[in-house]
Amino acid sequence: MLIIKDISNLQSYLTAYQNRKYSIGFVPTMGALHKGHGELIKRSKTDNHKTIVSIFVNEKQFNSKEDFNSYPRNKGLDYDFCSDNDVDLLFEPSAEEIYNKDETILKNNNYNNILCDKYRKGHFDGVITVLNKFFSIVKSNKVYFGEKDFQQLKIIEKFIQEKYKFLKIVSVPTKRNEEGIAYSSRKKVENFLKTLEKSFDINTANQKAKDFIVEQDIEEFDYFEFRNNEDLSFNGKVSESRLFYAIYKGKVRLIDNLKI
């Protein structure tokens, strides 16, 4: 597995791949890799001749310096993970390599003011700013994102339609962990979902979601609501929706979305 840190070196490998007519799959990540990322890598390996994973903790998408500094980083384990998953090339640039000193931040205008965008102002601006950089550097055929971050996926779909028409976006279903905090709260949420009829309309389901939050005594949450799969609105039936939530367990913010 190649580990490359600078753009010019990366570009010589990309040129060699392109000359050989290899298809390239790209999996952008912020590292601290786990089985969820592994699903994206697996999918890219099935679809393409070569798979490139990037690891870059993007300061521009964090709301505070503190959150950025405390984001988990485990370089050695990530190298092992990528090598065990037969990644062809790991791209791990520094911030200086990616950003200019006075970098212009792009403005996301899609799916604004709801879900995560409502609570993490500017977060998605940072996401599309870094992807704009990465897409123009890596120039892959396909790029892979997880449904776990569903609003992000929808925003990136739009961004690619607007600016990177050559690129095909592939969405990968969420890999669920069987252990730990996230699982235990998810279990309760899953039981709640079982009590709902698919034929309910989304507004009725949201009333029940409010009751559930009160019953479970979940005091700290940013949102816990059903929204339409297609346009993230409140229109339609439960069968066409997902439950989106961002709740807190102590200091840990858990975000997920579930389909009935």
The minimum distance between CB 191 and ligand AMP, in angstroms, equals 20
CA-based diameter of the chain, in Å? 60
CB 243 within 8 A of CB 189: yes
Count the Cβ atoms, other than its own, within 10 Å of residue 99: 16
Q: Which residue has the tokens 């601290």?
A: 32
CB 256 within 8 A of CB 148: yes
Which 3-state string (H, E, C) describes 2-63?
Answer: EEECCHHHHHHHHHHHHHCCCCEEEEEECCCCCHHHHHHHHHHHHHCCEEEEEECCCHHHCC
The minimum distance between CB 37 and ligand AMP, in angstroms, equals 5
The minimum distance between CB 148 and ligand AMP, in angstroms, equals 4
CB closer to ligand AMP, 69 vs 235:
69
CB closer to ligand AMP, 28 vs 196:
28
The minimum distance between CB 152 and ligand AMP, in angstroms, equals 7
CB 140 within 8 A of CB 25: yes
| Catalytic site residue from 34, 37, 49, 123 | 37
Q: Check if 123 is active-site.
A: no
List of residues contacting ligand AMP (CB under 6 A): 29-30, 36-37, 39-40, 145-146, 148-149, 172, 174-175
Class of residue 27 by CB neighbours under 10 A (exposed 0-12, middle 13-18, buried 19+): buried
Q: Which two tokens stand for residue 182?
A: 């996230």
The minimum distance between CB 28 and ligand AMP, in angstroms, equals 6
CB closer to ligand AMP, 172 vs 238:
172
CB closer to ligand AMP, 205 vs 247:
247
CB closer to ligand AMP, 148 vs 163:
148
Q: Which two tokens stand for residue 243?
A: 């439950």
Q: Which residue has the tokens 């229109």?
A: 235
Catalytic positions, written as ranges: 37
